Amino acid sequence: MNLEKKTVLITGANRGIGRALVDEALRRGAKRVYAGARSALHNTDKRVTPLTLDVTSVSQIQRAVDEVDTLDVLINNAGVAIYDDLSKLDVIEQHLAVNLLGSLKVTHAFLPLLRRSKGAIVNNLSLAALAPLPVIPAYSISKAAESNMTQSLRAFLAGQGVTVHAVFLGPIDTDMSRGLEIPKASAETAAQGIFDGLEKGEQDIFPDPVSQSIAEGWRTGAAKALERQFAAFVPEIAA
């Protein structure tokens, strides 16, 4: 999908990859960008509408829905990553509340608008969804679960004209990856890669040099083949 004259909503838009996505959407000619953030957000571009949006708050999600008339692209970008060793259940729950359930709640809330526009859902996942990064195992669990959810939504919504895209980000230079001393791509590179992948209609988007190195292996691998096989069950169950 091309962003020209489209309406886009991005969660976690106040910093990091979310903020870069707002700028890149504007550069690509988006008509309106709804920038979701937990705290006040300022952008001088008149096409940006800030939304107060904690993705764990059902009331804030509902208020956000009330402020949006039409929507072509929803980007579930908001996320948390906390270093842990799986010893604290509340840390696992916190990751699931934001990265998995927050994305799902926001998706459900905006689905009627996306069905109407035959729009797209873009979920910002991580390579840690495919294999755990053991310094952030709770985060990895939540991203693996979010990836699995993305695949189910893709299968459910295929017949309704809504496309669902997974973004498998590698290391990106934001606050989230501050403690990792490894080469990182810029948030701007990631944002460009995400919208390039969306424009090409890619189901699974690998937007940066590290993620691109495994793209071919993923697309031709057993897990992707199984996803396609299992997706074929959806119409039978619905029927």
Ligand X SMILES: NC(=O)c1ccc[n+]([C@@H]2O[C@H](COP(=O)([O-])OP(=O)(O)OC[C@H]3O[C@@H](n4cnc5c(N)ncnc54)[C@H](OP(=O)(O)O)[C@@H]3O)[C@@H](O)[C@H]2O)c1
Catalytic residue ranges: 139, 143
Q: Do residues 44 and 21 lie in contact, with contact meaning Cβ atoms separated by under 8 Å? A: no
- By beta-carbon proximity to ligand X, the closer residue of 53 and 74 is 53
Contact flag: residue 175 with ligand X (CB under 6 A): yes
Cβ-based nearer residue to ligand X, 182 or 238: 182
Q: CA 81, CA 142: separation in Å to the nearest integer?
A: 10
The stretch near ligand X (CB under 6 A) out of 10-18, 65-73, 198-206, 221-229 is 10-18
Nearest distance from residue 35's CB to ligand X, in Å? 10
Burial 143-159 (b: 16+ CB within 10 A, else e): bbbbbebbbebbbebee
Segment interacting with ligand X (CB under 6 A) among 7-15, 25-33, 155-163, 212-220: 7-15
List 1, 23, 38, 68, residue binding ligand X (CB under 6 A): 38
Q: Does 87 bind ligand X (CB under 6 A)?
A: no
Site membership for ligand X, residue 11 (CB under 6 A): yes
CA atoms within 13 A on the CB side of 50: 12
Alpha-carbon 165 to chain mean position: 8
Which candidate, 47, 146, 166, places its Cα nearest to that of 101?
146
Task: Return the number of the residue (133 or 234) whose C-beta is nearest ligand X.
Answer: 133
CA angle 85, 103, 228 (to 5 degrees): 90
Q: Which helix (H) or strand (E) holds 166?
A: strand 163-169
Asked if 12 interacts with ligand X (CB under 6 A), we say yes
- Buried (b) or exposed (e) across 12-46, using 16+ Cβ within 10 A? bbbebbbbbbbbbbbebebebbbbbbbeebebeee
Q: Does 172 bind ligand X (CB under 6 A)?
A: yes
Per rule CB under 6 A, count of chain residues that contact ligand X: 29
Q: Between 56 and 212, whose beta carbon lies closer to ligand X?
A: 56
| Residue nearest to ligand X according to CB distances in the complex | 16
Q: How far apart are CA 24 and CA 185, in angstroms?
A: 16
Stretch that binds ligand X, among 14-22, 82-90, 150-158, 212-220 (CB under 6 A): 14-22
Q: Which residues bind ligand X (CB under 6 A)?
A: 11-12, 14-18, 38-39, 53-56, 77-81, 98, 102, 124, 126, 169, 171-172, 174-177
